[in-house]
Chains A and B, each alone.
Chain A
Amino acid sequence: MRETIKGFGLGLRTEHYRDFVESPRGVDWLEIISENYLVAGGKPLYYLDRIRRDYPMVMHGVSLSIGGSDALDPEYLRQLRALVDRVEPAWVSDHLCWTGTGSLNLHDLLPLPYTEAALRQLEPRVAQVQEALGQPLLLENVSSYVRYRVDEMSEWEFIRELVRHTGCELLLDVNNVYVSSVNHHFNPHTFIDAIPPAVVRQIHLAGHEEHGSYLIDTHDQPICEAVWDLYAYTVGRLGPIPTMIERDDNMPPLAVLIAELDYARTRAQHTQIEQAA
């Protein structure tokens, strides 16, 4: 039976291990980066087990390369399954992307071409992962800085098709929608409107960097007002989806992130109140 997660979470980062151990925090659940715990022992697993006692968790991977052309790495899937058995997360997610080819890992979340051929290639791979993990896989939309010449559809059309054919669920990164909408000149509401509400299990929020005519997803600063507005729009359309803030660099004290998370709560509540009125 999958644990139900509700409310507002944070990404668990090493800088905040002691804070989470020492006293209860205003955080409903935590997301871990799966790869950080695919190790034999020591502090990472010690703190993971210790903090898991007090917080529901979800697992978020960065190197599944579900959209890659190499065969899925069976050893990686085995390790991931062992971590699933240890953590008992509410769900497991990774990114709708590829990370390298020819056994290399570029350690980046590279966009897929939005083509029928890419969809056909993804279908058996999603099924293989879901079978290996014994549960549905959540896939997250990534920020992108290029569009391919061979694209046959929009990103949201591609995602809709993927969900329809594979039964995967979605981790909707609202910041990534915003970043890509600026970079590729589309209305982010069009993207949100196209996503089937029933399959969105989780929302990510994060900060990005402005570079004149384009944005880069950096997770190193507070969430900007435009992303907050898009988040409110998203909650208005999808309802109260479990939401978390990702921060990976320029790490502030935990209290700062919790205050930002409280703001997410406020925005979500206001949206729901406005809808009810």
Chain B
Amino acid sequence: MSTLAELQQRFQKAILLENFTPDLFAAEGALLAGGIGVYLQAYRARLTAALRDNFPVLQRALGDDAFDLLARAYIDEHPSHFRSIRWFGHRLVEFLDAAPGRLPHPALLDLARMDWAMRTAFDAADAAALTRDDLAALPLQDWPLRRFRPLPSLQLIDLAWRVEPVWKALNANSEVASEEPQRLPHVLLIWRPALDCCWRSAEACEAAALQALTQAASFADCCTLIAESGVPEPAQTAAGFLQRWITEGLLAKD
């Protein structure tokens, strides 16, 4: 191992473990120039700021002190492997899910899920939306095998609580106190038709159909899935979904 590699490993270990005395520095650096303490402090401050950017609503819900404590625990367990700090926090939901006691209310986990999914949709790949005219131009015989493709930004997330009103109020920095969320397992759709993200909840049948489309199911497969879910008029339901998805700009043009 080169001396440089060894020096860098020791410096990095000092930062990660908050060791102020890695015995690498000239006295002048350690005592007068701020020393390694500047790097120790900056490391945690910078990553905490990145988590605040990526989980703005969770941060507002928890408040500064509780969020910073949580961030600190996450940073220590999941140091960054990313070139861009934009992705830091990709395992925060999993981290919170594994130890629910880290949050004062279980619904806060859903706020974290929603924050991360919104962030993911925000800079996901662009795609032009499929229009009614595109659909009208599709020959009738092509419909069954046609694989409608959702926008690359589409996120389907399972939420256990009805947190959307709280998320919306906190995201807007609203002063209005929100009611405590109710337990209500459901699927939330998040997508970005142009530059701004949209979201709404979806019934299980619609969510399953969209999920199937993300896995390249044909329209016929989708109809079968809807029929198997037990809805009374599967063909009409499928047509209704398709119409709504087109109106909302949720499907991508080929």
Instruction: List residues of chain A with CB under 8 Å of any chain B CB.
Output: 35-36, 38-46, 63, 68-69, 73, 76, 79, 98, 100-108, 110, 112-113, 115, 117-118, 121, 144-151, 183-185, 211, 213-214, 216
B15 A211 Cβ-Cβ under 8 A: no
A110 B39 Cβ-Cβ under 8 A: yes
B12 A145 Cβ-Cβ under 8 A: no
Closest to B47 in A: A107
Q: Which residues of B contact A115 (CB under 8 A)?
A: 3-4
Q: Which residues of A contact B38 (CB under 8 A)?
A: 145, 214, 216
A38 B84 Cβ-Cβ under 8 A: yes
Is B200 among interface residues, defined by CB-CB distance under 8 A? no
Which of B16, B26, B29, B85 counts the most A-chain CB atoms under 10 A from its CB? B29
A145 B35 Cβ-Cβ under 8 A: yes
Which of B32, B43, B47 counts the most A-chain CB atoms under 10 A from its CB? B32
Q: How many contacting A-B pairs (Cβ < 8 A)?
A: 153
Closest to A69 in B: B5
Query: Which of chain B's residues 10-56 have a Cβ closer than 8 Å to chain A?
Result: 11-12, 15-16, 24-26, 28-30, 32-36, 38-39, 42-43, 46-47, 50
**B25 → chain A, closest Cβ, in Å?**
5
B26, B39, B88, B124: the one contacting A148 at CB < 8 Å is B26
A149–B39 alpha-carbon span in the complex (Å): 17
Is B195 among interface residues, defined by CB-CB distance under 8 A? yes
B124 A183 Cβ-Cβ under 8 A: no
**A26 → chain B, closest Cβ, in Å?**
27
B124 A105 Cβ-Cβ under 8 A: no
A215–B45 alpha-carbon span in the complex (Å): 17
Is B185 among interface residues, defined by CB-CB distance under 8 A? no
- New A-B pairs, 16, CB < 8 Å, besides A106-B15, A110-B8, A213-B33: A35-B83, A40-B125, A63-B84, A101-B8, A102-B12, A104-B12, A104-B80, A104-B81, A107-B88, A110-B11, A147-B25, A150-B7, A151-B26, A183-B29, A185-B28, A216-B42
A146 B33 Cβ-Cβ under 8 A: yes
Those 3 A-B pairs whose CB atoms lie nearest each other, nearest first = A183-B33, A41-B126, A146-B29
- Of the A-B pairs whose beta carbons lie under 8 Å apart in the complex, a sample of 7, sorted by A's number, is A39-B86, A43-B195, A45-B126, A145-B35, A147-B26, A214-B33, A216-B34
Query: Which of chain B's residues 142-166 have a Cβ closer than 8 Å to chain A?
Result: 152-153
Q: Which residues of A contact B24 (CB under 8 A)?
A: 146, 148-149
B43 A106 Cβ-Cβ under 8 A: yes
A73, A106, A121: the one contacting B83 at CB < 8 Å is A73
B123 A145 Cβ-Cβ under 8 A: no
A35 B84 Cβ-Cβ under 8 A: yes
A190–B125 alpha-carbon span in the complex (Å): 49
B83 A38 Cβ-Cβ under 8 A: yes
Is B141 among interface residues, defined by CB-CB distance under 8 A? no
B15, B34, B36: the one contacting A214 at CB < 8 Å is B34
Q: Which residues of A contact B36 (CB under 8 A)?
A: 145-146
Q: A98 with B83: in contact, given A146-B33, A150-B3, A184-B28 (CB under 8 Å)? A: no
Closest to B84 in A: A35
Q: A43 with B122: in contact, given A106-B15, A113-B4, A148-B26 (CB under 8 Å)? A: yes
B7, B39, B88: the one contacting A145 at CB < 8 Å is B39
A35–B35 alpha-carbon span in the complex (Å): 28
A146–B39 alpha-carbon span in the complex (Å): 9
Q: Which residues of A contact B122 (CB under 8 A)?
A: 42-43
Which of A76, A118, A146 counts the most B-chain CB atoms under 10 A from its CB? A146
A33–B190 alpha-carbon span in the complex (Å): 28
Closest to A214 in B: B34
Q: Which residues of B contact A185 (CB under 8 A)?
A: 28, 32
Which of B8, B11, B122, B192 counts the most A-chain CB atoms under 10 A from its CB? B8
A69 B25 Cβ-Cβ under 8 A: no
B34 A183 Cβ-Cβ under 8 A: yes
B3 A214 Cβ-Cβ under 8 A: no
Closest to A98 in B: B8
Query: Which of chain B's residues 39-81 have a Cβ closer than 8 Å to chain A?
Result: 39, 42-43, 46-47, 50, 79-81
A35–B82 alpha-carbon span in the complex (Å): 10
Q: Which residues of B contact A113 (CB under 8 A)?
A: 4, 7
Is B9 among interface residues, defined by CB-CB distance under 8 A? yes
B9, B33, B81: the one contacting A147 at CB < 8 Å is B33
Closest to B41 in A: A216
A102 B9 Cβ-Cβ under 8 A: yes
Which of B43, B83, B123 counts the most A-chain CB atoms under 10 A from its CB? B83
A108 B46 Cβ-Cβ under 8 A: yes
Q: Which residues of B contact A211 (CB under 8 A)?
A: 34
A183–B46 alpha-carbon span in the complex (Å): 21
Is B2 among interface residues, defined by CB-CB distance under 8 A? yes
